[in-house]
């Protein structure tokens, strides 16, 4: 019924990676709530379940991907950019002409750069969704300059050198990807930045008060409009589209959390892609055990290299902790972070996790792995001062020390206060008159003006 009242339809195309799909579906919900009909275009690989979104239409773009193609995120994204181009070109004209409502624009993930030339050909304006932060995008946009100045590719001998023009970043904080082909990451980034420049604007899952310096610089350097309208998951009255999760969350951990003291639990999760070695896994396990804090640990299938599940854990490990540790394959992360028992989030600093932690005022233990995560971790620990980076090697003594620093150390209260302040800002920006609220209004009116 609602669908019939809507005047315009938006086509949104998602990247199939978890950390990209969830924010795109959340954005779709936000735009739906603003009066637009929504069609989601998606690859066959990791396709969302239409039954979970009865108010959206769905359209599959054949991707020709095999299981082996999906192991490396850069390779996967490159393949999607190549293999989905022809099918999208074929179906887009009929999606436009068969739409019951006019389609003012196409919205696609920044990583799907192939969509820009296709939209250009059809004279269909494209808006970009950048699912990462603005500060890391600024770095991505400066890749050619960073290479010219010799900062990229990152050299082991220069890790502690400050990156001039990008304080407080050091060379070790620059984005990198452990791809089969490191040059492929550089090329992908340069290409998606170029196609952002050709777009009609970029929508960001961030907020002005969090990344004002980066957003100001982006406005100076680029002519495309910026719409920082995040945090998406908090702007939805009905909660987020986290049912976009590709794995089923194990909710049993919530009743375990209910039994823990306030601010006592370390929640440990490294997102949907990062993987660690068996040796690192054991250092984490012993570091958590020795910290004497309760912990909730997400061990995703496939997240320990060369291991199927929990077999590397010493036998009786959890039992010997007397209920102080709880392990799940996948957690309802947003609910976990909002639980009063959670006192810190040991995270890989994927942008969604970083933002979700900020929104709940939870201090972070930062252990970035790749891509934008190192930049996010540096901002969390040294700019917003809401976390501590795990320094040096991933080693049990270091883990124990860092957990204590964040949970009970001298600076712990200050970090917690900063986190609570930032939480308030994240909430205020969505209220009437707040920055994200106003940018969303401009986004909606700009989309409508594209239609006329």
Q: x/- binding map, residues 104-143, to ligand UDX, per CB under 6 A?
A: ---------------------------xx-----------
Give the residue among 96, 30, 77 at the shortest CA–CA distance from 232. 30
Cβ closest to ligand UDX, residue 290 vs residue 335: 335
User: Does residue 426 touch ligand UDX according to CB under 6 A?
Assistant: no
Of 273, 276, 358, 399, the one binding ligand UDX by CB under 6 A: 273
Cβ closest to ligand UDX, residue 99 vs residue 242: 242
User: Does residue 299 touch ligand UDX according to CB under 6 A?
Assistant: no
User: What angle (nearest 5°) sits at the alpha carbon of residue 129, between those of residues 142 and 443?
Assistant: 110
Whole-number minimum distance, CB 196 to ligand UDX, in Å? 16
Cβ closest to ligand UDX, residue 132 vs residue 201: 132
Of 298, 344, 358, 399, the one binding ligand UDX by CB under 6 A: 298
User: Does residue 330 touch ligand UDX according to CB under 6 A?
Assistant: yes
Q: Tokens 């930049």 — which residue?
A: 375
- Measured N-to-C along each axis, helices 351-360 and 18-33 cross at an angle, to the nearest 10 degrees, of 60
The 10 Å CB-count burial string (b at 16+, else e) for 302-332 is ebbeebeeeebbeeebbeebeebbbbbebbb
- Establish whether the linkage from the previous residue to 289 is cis, with ω within 30° of 0: no
User: Does residue 356 touch ligand UDX according to CB under 6 A?
Assistant: yes
User: Does residue 373 touch ligand UDX according to CB under 6 A?
Assistant: yes
The CA–CA distances, whole Å, from 215 to 17, 94, 146, 275 equal 25, 37, 19, 31
| CA separation for the pair 401, 410 (Å, rounded) | 12
Of 269, 291, 357, 385, the one binding ligand UDX by CB under 6 A: 269
Whole-number minimum distance, CB 352 to ligand UDX, in Å? 3
User: Does residue 166 touch ligand UDX according to CB under 6 A?
Assistant: no
Q: Tokens 């010493």 — which residue?
A: 314
Cβ closest to ligand UDX, residue 8 vs residue 378: 378
Q: Measured in whole angstroms, how far is the alpha carbon of residue 289 from the centre of its chain?
A: 29
Number of residues that bind ligand UDX (CB under 6 A): 28
Cβ closest to ligand UDX, residue 207 vs residue 351: 351
Of 18, 69, 209, 398, the one binding ligand UDX by CB under 6 A: 18
Whole-number minimum distance, CB 396 to ligand UDX, in Å? 23
Of 351, 379, 384, 439, the one binding ligand UDX by CB under 6 A: 351
Cβ closest to ligand UDX, residue 39 vs residue 373: 373
Interacting span for ligand UDX (CB under 6 A) from 3-11, 32-40, 149-157, 331-339:
331-339
Cβ closest to ligand UDX, residue 241 vs residue 412: 241
Task: Give start and end residues of each alpha helix (H) in 99-149.
Answer: 115-121, 134-141, 143-148
User: Does residue 272 touch ligand UDX according to CB under 6 A?
Assistant: yes
Cβ closest to ligand UDX, residue 48 vs residue 104: 48
- Measured N-to-C along each axis, helices 182-197 and 73-83 cross at an angle, to the nearest 10 degrees, of 50
Long-range contacts of 282-287 (CB under 8 A, 24+ apart): 282/312, 282/313, 282/314, 283/394, 283/395, 283/396, 283/399, 284/394, 284/399, 285/313, 285/314, 285/317, 286/396, 286/399, 287/395, 287/396, 287/397, 287/398, 287/399, 287/400, 287/403
- Alpha-carbon dihedral 166, 169, 171, 173, rounded to 10 degrees: -130
Residues in contact with ligand UDX by CB under 6 A are 17-20, 22, 131-132, 242, 245, 249, 269, 271-274, 298, 330-331, 333-334, 350-353, 356, 371-373
């Amino acid at each position: 019924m609602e669908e019939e009242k809507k005047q315009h339809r938006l086509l949104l195309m998602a990247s199939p990676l978890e950390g990209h799909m969830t924010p795109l579906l959340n954005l779709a919900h936000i735009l739906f709530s603003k009066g637009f009909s929504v069609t989601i275009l998606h690859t066959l690989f990791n396709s969302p379940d239409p039954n979970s979104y009865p108010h959206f239409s769905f359209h599959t773009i054949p991707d020709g991907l095999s299981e082996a193609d999906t192991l490396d995120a850069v390779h996967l994204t490159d393949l999607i950019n190549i293999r989905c181009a022809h099918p999208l070109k074929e179906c887009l004209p009929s999606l436009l002409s068969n739409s019951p409502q006019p389609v003012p624009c196409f919205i696609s993930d920044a990583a799907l750069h192939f969509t820009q030339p296709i939209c250009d050909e059809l004279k269909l304006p494209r808006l970009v969704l950048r699912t990462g932060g603005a500060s890391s995008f600024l770095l991505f946009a400066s890749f050619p300059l960073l290479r010219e100045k010799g900062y990229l590719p990152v050299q082991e001998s220069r890790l502690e050198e400050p990156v001039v023009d990008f304080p407080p970043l050091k060379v070790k904080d620059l984005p990198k990807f452990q791809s089969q082909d490191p040059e492929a990451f550089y090329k992908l980034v340069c290409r998606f930045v170029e196609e952002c420049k050709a777009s009609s604007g970029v929508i960001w899952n961030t907020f002005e008060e969090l990344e004002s310096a980066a957003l100001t610089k982006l406005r100076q350097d680029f002519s495309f409009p910026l719409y920082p309208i995040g945090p998406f998951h908090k702007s939805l009255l009905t909660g987020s589209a986290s049912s976009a999760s590709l794995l089923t969350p194990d909710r049993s951990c919530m009743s375990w959390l209910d039994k823990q003291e306030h601010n006592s639990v370390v929640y440990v999760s490294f997102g949907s892609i990062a993987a660690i070695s068996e040796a690192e896994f054991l250092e984490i396990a012993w570091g958590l055990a020795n910290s004497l804090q309760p912990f909730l640990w997400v061990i995703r299938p496939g997240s320990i290299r060369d291991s199927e599940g929990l077999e590397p854990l010493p036998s009786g490990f959890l039992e010997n902790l007397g209920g102080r540790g709880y392990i799940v394959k996948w957690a309802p992360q947003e609910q976990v972070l909002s639980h009063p028992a959670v006192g810190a989030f040991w995270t890989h600093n994927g942008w969604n996790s970083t933002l979700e932690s900020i929104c709940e005022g939870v201090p972070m233990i930062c252990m970035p792995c790749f891509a934008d995560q190192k930049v996010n971790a540096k901002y969390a620990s040294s700019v917003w001062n809401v976390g501590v980076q795990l320094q040096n090697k991933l080693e049990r003594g270091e883990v124990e020390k860092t957990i204590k620093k964040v949970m009970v150390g001298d600076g712990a209260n200050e970090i917690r206060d900063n986190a609570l302040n930032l939480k308030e800002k994240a909430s205020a920006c969505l209220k009437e008159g707040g920055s994200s609220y106003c940018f969303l209004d401009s986004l909606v009116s700009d989309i409508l003006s594209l239609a006329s």
